[in-house]
Structure 1
Amino acid sequence: MRTFSILLGTTTVLSMIAPPLSAATPHKTNAHTPDKTQVAATPKKSRLSSLQSKKGETLSVVVRRISHGTQTTVSQSLIAQGIPGANPMKALGLAPGIMFNSNDSMGIDNYAAQIYMHGFQQQEIGMTLDDMPLGEMTYRNYNGLNPLQAISSENIARIDVSQSAGAESIAATNNLGGSFEYVSIDPKDKMGGTVAQSFGSNSAFHTFIRLDSGKLNKTGTKFFASYSRSDQGFWGNGGGNLFLQQVNAKLVQPIGNDSKITAYFDWSDLHEYSRQDYSFDMLDKLGYTSSNYYNGKASGYYAAYKAAEGIYPAGYNRLKDPADASVYDAGTNVVDYFGGIKADLKLTDRLRWITTAYGHGEDSQTTWSSPFFPSPNGAPMSEVVKEPAIERFGILSALHYNVARNQIGAGVWYENDSYQSAMNAYEQPAIVNGVLTGSLRSGVSKWSDPFARIFNQDYNTNSFTAFVQDTYSPVKNLYLHFGFKSILDTSRVGNGYINPAYYGNVGAIASGDSLTVAKPFLPHISANWKFLKNHELFFDISESVHTYAESGYKLSSSPFAVLQSSFNASRNNIHPETAWTYAVGYRYNSPMISGTVYAYRTNFENRLQQITSGSLINPQSVVANVGGVTMNGVDAGLTIRPIKGLEIYNTISYNHATYDNNITSGQVTYGTQGVQVVNFPRFMYKSRMSYQWRNASVYIDASYIGERNFSYTGDVKVPGYWITNLGAQYKITDFGKGSRFSNFVQDIVFSLNVNNLTNTKYISTMGEAGNPMSIASGAMTYQGFELGAPRMYYGGVKMDF
């Protein structure tokens, strides 16, 4: 791939330099604290520990950089306490105001893994790794990659979370609801490494190997390289597995005393079968463990074949839509190459210049066996494969200057993104006289030679942002911040094709058109005041924008993912989504007690949604602005440390996020005004108790996720649920003492984790396939949620040397 070649070449050059679901039936009814002695890139830290010990912080509130205000930081020590190799966003889910859900206990199914923050879904949260943009976290990402595929969890130093108020310096054009900034670890100064192996329920295993070179010469050149591999079978009925392997490498070349050049590279290979989306009708009639027909054997294909012919297994004939309930298989096959080079240079005692160049290439195939599109060989179904591909490159550059009582920063970001969204159909083998006429193919294999093109659009996007900021300290312990961001983003779509044999004679798809988002002034204002001892007050105000999404036909609320006629009708009236956020807070920290209160209001405007309008006989599907959302919320947290080694952590979150307008679709007006937003609860409670004694530690955490709206009108709700997890670790620090191993092995850590300790049955991910409007529009049969994993056990051992 062109992008991979660029990355490989640049890296080579640099190296030369140096409640239970049985009852879950639906209900009808920042502030800135700069360092005066350093430039803005590395200011002084001010922390409120929520989960910490003398041996390392886990979750804390941090003021880390003047451009980002008050942040919640999740460190490697907290991530390492969870299931080995699990999605680090599971640790993020411990923070107040954040909800993480998945259908597997490790959270590595990138279709079902879902995170919300203060009512905003993952597509509306900016994400970066070492300042490099990761784009929108969405299935079939069009301008980036899932953080899980960008870095192994063991290589994360920390994740900085900016909640509610935005950050003008972040390389993102979608951060309506804040940002997640991943920071990779640096190679160790001393040669060594890590080897870890874990096993778990449903044939799960995770392997991680990392080698640190240590300092190779007098200039301090050092690097690490790692390999990780995870595999986990499906719980419940059916077959399939979740597989991810990954290579990470990082090189650091110091320059003088306070400058350096770093290079980072990532290769990931993800092959995953997907569980089917559930409906309430399926949950009621098929139970909790239904799955697709795939089981790794011919019998699964025979069952799917008969179902495609209208002969269903027992129980399916009671469903209102048995053909959609289960298919043969569905899968994801994604390969990513991602990386970049950063120069962090101290030009003078007051001036620092940071520049990052990066590239990313992705090939992807997401599949499902369609019983509605037969193969030419006579089989009643075919494999429909969406084949998105990404090639993007970009550069970020910023200057930070300290003068008098000011910390001044200014920077730019440019990215070019090429995205192809092709969808094709491939033959499945026919069955003649009970015998397969061809070999079975895996849903996660590489498909080639389609018998039909179904859909295509090619996108090209140029994004440019710039920011200016200043933090001023008029008196001791008072910091005032002002900055703004400018965005210019243009997307052009071409090579449009739509197959009438699949979609019907609907007309042409949008092609040969473009849309531009231009926002020259997006302000960010904040203040932080430290008063008395251990007390702080802060406020934060910002405006942010979400540029237009891109995807295939009807796959999202992208204004391009419509017919040409619909695009022409909406292009002069459509506007990008924007949000104003106002936040105020207080925090207190002492050796025994830490507490925080954080209140916010967000006015989310120009929300985009796919709706139906026009005649009932000839309806027209369009993407249009349907109004706004008003969010008012508060998070409160308290941590007490009554005795040495014991911490008890509690948070409560309340989010009143309601639609401002009703929605009219297909000449029907739905009463959404004043209704809580879909998929996100109004109330959440989280608690965690941890105890550390010498080299042993144990924790138990419990979270309550409140009732959520499944339909936009709120007449179908998903009940709240409790989920509890347990973990324990024991470290041997003197392994091989007095023997030849004492100079080789440093630590050995044994771990045990139990996910969903109480074996709760619950609905986890929601809206991954969209949400229905109401019961009248078919909400009870709409397949739009995933079920949570049952109780699972994991054990592992890690050795540092």
Structure 2
Amino acid sequence: MALLSTVLAVIPSYGWAAEKSQHVRKGKAHPQHTLPASRPSAARHASARAMQPELMQVQGRRVSHGAQTVISQHVFTNAVAGTSVMKALQNVPGVLFQSDDAQGVDTGGVKLYIHGFSQNQIGFSLDGIPLGESVYRNYNGLNAVAALSSENVGHMEMSQGAGAVDMPSTNVLGGAIMISSSDPKDKFGGTLAATGGSNATTHAFIRIDSGKLNPTGTKFYVSYMRNDTKLWKGYGTQFFQQANLKLVQPIHNESSVSLLFDWADVQQFNYQSETLETVQKLGYGISNYYPNYRLAYNAAQGIYSHGEDKTSDPKDVSYYAGTTASRDLLGGLNFHLKLADHLRWDSVVYGHNQKANTQWSDPWMASANGAPLSEIVKQPDIQRFGLTSSMTYDIGKHEIHGGIWYENNKYVSNMFAYNDPLLADGQTLTPNPFRKWSDPFAKLWGQTYNTNTMQTYIEDTWRPVKDLSLHAGFKSMLSTTHVGQTGNYEPYTGTNALAGGVGLTTFGAFLPHFSGDWHFLTHHELYFDIAKNMRAYPESGYHLSASPFAVSQEAFDLSRSSVKPETSWAYSVGYRFTQRRVDFSVSAYRVNFSNRLGALVQGSQTNPQTTVLNLGGVTMNGVDAGLTLRPLRGLSIFNSISYNHSTYDNNISQQGTTYATKGKHVVNYPDLMYKATAEYTYKKASFNIDALYTSSRPFSYTNDTSLPSYWLVNFGARYNFGRIGRLENLTASFNVTNLTGSRYLIMTGDDGGNPLSGDYQSLVVGAPRQFFGGVKADF
């Protein structure tokens, strides 16, 4: 097989930048509720601005983080109902979001980058609850897609810097995304919404708000969301349902206790991963064989049906099926207490459990019963709990903030092989890829991880004179992981022992963060931001990522002395002009990334041979510029351009061959992005159109292959009928995604790998043009 001779590297790509300097801290890890006197006037003003009808706003919220962009619920109003929180960021300068579905909810086909940093190097939190690495096959949290229904998002804050020191995350190398849920309403009521569209898409949402139940102000809401769609190519469905509960108990005027609960159930057929070769020779329409089991059965025996043999690797062109099923339970209890006039205490206690199956049909491994293919099912389990606690003290011109975060995470990573049925001549079968998996004929491998993380921090924001804020702080991070082997099927893994009975510790005693913000004239602002960050050693299933644990015991022993935690130094400086009719901003940034971990892989996806090494560093320089014009009442026009130049600092040597990667561009992230948005509101009608240009992206580390550039245009229209009977804000909407029908390629959501040179099966096709219409009303 041709791919057996292809050498690959699963190496993260990196980048960093800052968009907006924030200069006074107000408990961002523990977002406060909108109680009447719980925020200073400046923060209340920023909150009000966040609700204005712009697609995004860079807010002057008084927080000590580096660059900060606030994304309001209005973004979701303009988008297709059910759009994920990640896709809601796609119009922000420096952000690259790509997905194989229109809503961005296919966890296996979504990619998010912020200035070159992938989503597994970006911190995520929900109401102060850490979400871990928000990726496909998450090991220490849950994907942000499944954390909260998008209709319940109050707002999001995105730091394009290295993230604040109080961010509860072990992977904040390239920024942070803080999601805040909306609060229950003061009056009894609710929301109903329904949407239909292309590929039999249906989206339904219902929310009931209790209103204030007693004189103390107790209130809550419960909601249920259901999203179902067929694949836009091939056969299969993507089903997602979710329930949320939030309860708020005010305590006097400036304190509160709140409870948040999330239940998410995902059952998705995945799109088939492709190579550049298969797209060039067979087109964009290649899909898996499901529900035609006979075609898959024959292909496993070398009998092909739609041109697979035109490629160098016909068996991997299509599989019978690939699916993802997961069920998450997440809960958090928030305390926001004013202890004295100048002293506040904020804490979160949380827990999370996930059970999942990720399945794909393997034409290379026969079933024990003699069928020429089998089902490979990864069955992970996550159990974690933790707490964050912080104190904020205002004294004179200083605001001092310090706190702690602790988490214990148990991650069970097992993979099994199950029999597929024998097929007699003339017989028709359609095995269910979501069937209850029992009685495997082999446990291919198993590892159990246990990780304890402790993070402490302290920071001070000093305002020596009016309109000038200086911030300094640091955090310390200690994360210790132990792993044990629980299974190893040597004919599959090719080794007599996996990494087991071993551990690694990530320790950063002093990870500083400095920033300054100066409003030197009316409407004018200058800022800078400097930060160092560190990422704890990642975990994963055997050979599934650049984890130093996901290898054989021999490979672990060889790499242990050279593997170090990934670190980054990030620097940014920026200027902003803000006026009623014009906003302009420009920021420049530089990143020095060290100890880049890479999984050097040789072989195919179904039988990789992996070694994890320290592969050196990355140097990045970039600039973002944005301009918003509001020439007429109701009309807003936004344009931005982002340039990024990031290169590898070292060559890579593998099995005696040196690959010339020094000075080559970082894979998967474009040098140039242009974004434009126009929104017009006239009386009860509103319209928006977005255009995004993404330049070509290097695919191989030697840059001898690349993914083509493309344009993506989206359109939306809405009409608010106002009050009709008992319904309020009855709104009809119409959306078209990928209006021009662009065809483009993206990386799969599971970081399947980039080739050191040439091609590899880790691509999916971006979502085509699709149409959606919906109605929504409050009562």
Shorter-chain TM-score bucket reads over 0.9
Within-5 A mapping of 1:627-706: 627-706=616-695
2:471 is matched with which residue?
481
TM-superposed CA distance for 1:434, in Å, is 3.1
> In the alignment, which of 405, 421, 424 is matched to residue 397 of structure 2?
405
Distance in 2 between the 1:143 and 1:597 partners? Answer: 35
2:435 is matched with which residue?
445
Distance in 2 between the 1:301 and 1:79 partners? Answer: 40
Distance in 2 between the 1:147 and 1:621 partners? Answer: 29
Alignment pair present for 1:246 and 2:246? no
Alignment pair present for 1:258 and 2:247? no
Alignment check: 8 A CA contact 2:637 2:677 kept: yes
1:561 is matched with which residue?
550
TM-superposed CA distance for 1:88, in Å, is 2.2
Distance in 1 between the 2:653 and 2:330 partners? Answer: 43
TM-superposed CA distance for 1:348, in Å, is 0.6
Amino acid at match of 2:768: P
Amino acid at match of 1:359: G
> In the alignment, which of 266, 278, 281 is matched to residue 282 of structure 1?
278
SS at match of 1:95: coil
Amino acid at match of 1:610: A
CA deviations on 1:279-308 (whole Å, 9 max, x unpaired) are 11111221111100003xxxx101000001
Alignment pair present for 1:796 and 2:778? no
- Give the direction of change, closer, same or farther, for the CA distance of 1:265–1:48 in structure 2 (3 Å limit): closer
Distance in 2 between the 1:161 and 1:629 partners? Answer: 23
Alignment pair present for 1:146 and 2:143? yes
SS at match of 2:755: coil
Distance in 1 between the 2:31 and 2:323 partners? Answer: 45
Structure 1 unmatched ranges of 5 or more: 1-29, 614-618, 736-740
Within-5 A mapping of 1:62-461: 62-64=59-61, 66-236=63-233, 238-295=234-291, 300-435=292-427, 440-461=430-451
Amino acid at match of 2:65: H
Distance in 1 between the 2:102 and 2:455 partners? Answer: 38
Alignment pair present for 1:756 and 2:738? yes
Distance in 2 between the 1:254 and 1:304 partners? Answer: 59
What is the root-mean-square deviation in Å for CA atoms of aligned residues? 2.1
Distance in 2 between the 1:86 and 1:484 partners? Answer: 36
Report the identity percentage: 47
CA deviations on 1:523-570 (whole Å, 9 max, x unpaired) are 000000002111110000000001001011110000000110111112
TM-superposed CA distance for 1:733, in Å, is 1.3
Alignment check: 8 A CA contact 1:305 1:380 kept: yes
- Give the direction of change, closer, same or farther, for the CA distance of 1:35–1:303 in structure 2 (3 Å limit): closer
Distance in 2 between the 1:330 and 1:314 partners? Answer: 19
> In the alignment, which of 722, 728, 733 is matched to residue 746 of structure 1?
728
CA deviations on 1:290-328 (whole Å, 9 max, x unpaired) are 100003xxxx10100000111011311111101011110
TM-superposed CA distance for 1:745, in Å, is 1.8
SS at match of 1:202: helix
Alignment check: 8 A CA contact 1:52 1:59 kept: no
Alignment pair present for 1:462 and 2:452? yes
CA deviations on 1:119-168 (whole Å, 9 max, x unpaired) are 10000000000010000012110000011101000000111000023210
Amino acid at match of 2:753: N
SS at match of 2:88: helix
Amino acid at match of 1:731: N
Distance in 1 between the 2:371 and 2:31 partners? Answer: 64
Alignment check: 8 A CA contact 1:32 1:480 kept: no
- Give the direction of change, closer, same or farther, for the CA distance of 1:333–1:142 in structure 2 (3 Å limit): same
Distance in 2 between the 1:70 and 1:189 partners? Answer: 33
Distance in 2 between the 1:538 and 1:666 partners? Answer: 47
Alignment check: 8 A CA contact 1:574 1:624 kept: yes
TM-score by length of 1: 0.91
Distance in 1 between the 2:572 and 2:486 partners? Answer: 44
TM-superposed CA distance for 1:48, in Å, is 12
TM-superposed CA distance for 1:372, in Å, is 1.3
TM-superposed CA distance for 1:37, in Å, is 14
Distance in 1 between the 2:297 and 2:176 partners? Answer: 45
Distance in 1 between the 2:715 and 2:31 partners? Answer: 40
CA deviations on 1:669-690 (whole Å, 9 max, x unpaired) are 1111111100000100000011
SS at match of 1:569: helix
1:26 is matched with which residue?
none
TM-superposed CA distance for 1:70, in Å, is 3.0
TM-score by length of 2: 0.93
TM-superposed CA distance for 1:774, in Å, is 4.3
Aligned residues: 747
Amino acid at match of 1:338: L
TM-superposed CA distance for 1:447, in Å, is 1.6
- Give the direction of change, closer, same or farther, for the CA distance of 1:358–1:135 in structure 2 (3 Å limit): same
- Give the direction of change, closer, same or farther, for the CA distance of 1:765–1:573 in structure 2 (3 Å limit): closer
- Give the direction of change, closer, same or farther, for the CA distance of 1:186–1:278 in structure 2 (3 Å limit): same
Structure 2 unmatched ranges of 5 or more: 1-19, 33-38, 603-607
Distance in 2 between the 1:189 and 1:792 partners? Answer: 38
SS at match of 1:224: strand
Distance in 1 between the 2:112 and 2:194 partners? Answer: 27
Alignment check: 8 A CA contact 1:355 1:397 kept: yes
Alignment check: 8 A CA contact 1:32 1:481 kept: no
TM-superposed CA distance for 1:389, in Å, is 0.6
Distance in 2 between the 1:143 and 1:65 partners? Answer: 31
Alignment pair present for 1:586 and 2:564? no
1:499 is matched with which residue?
489
Alignment check: 8 A CA contact 1:61 1:72 kept: yes
Amino acid at match of 1:500: E
- Give the direction of change, closer, same or farther, for the CA distance of 1:622–1:65 in structure 2 (3 Å limit): farther
Distance in 2 between the 1:54 and 1:599 partners? Answer: 28
Distance in 2 between the 1:48 and 1:581 partners? Answer: 30
TM-superposed CA distance for 1:433, in Å, is 3.1
Identify the range of structure 1 (336-345 vs 494-503) with the bigger mean alpha-carbon deviation.
494-503
Alignment pair present for 1:597 and 2:589? no
Alignment check: 8 A CA contact 1:663 1:672 kept: yes
Alignment check: 8 A CA contact 2:499 2:550 kept: yes
Distance in 1 between the 2:653 and 2:618 partners? Answer: 16
Distance in 2 between the 1:251 and 1:331 partners? Answer: 35
1:10 is matched with which residue?
none
Alignment check: 8 A CA contact 1:648 1:688 kept: yes
Alignment pair present for 1:770 and 2:766? no
SS at match of 1:317: helix
- Give the direction of change, closer, same or farther, for the CA distance of 1:564–1:530 in structure 2 (3 Å limit): same
TM-superposed CA distance for 1:663, in Å, is 0.5
TM-superposed CA distance for 1:47, in Å, is 11
Distance in 2 between the 1:595 and 1:240 partners? Answer: 46
- Give the direction of change, closer, same or farther, for the CA distance of 1:54–1:149 in structure 2 (3 Å limit): closer
1:724 is matched with which residue?
713
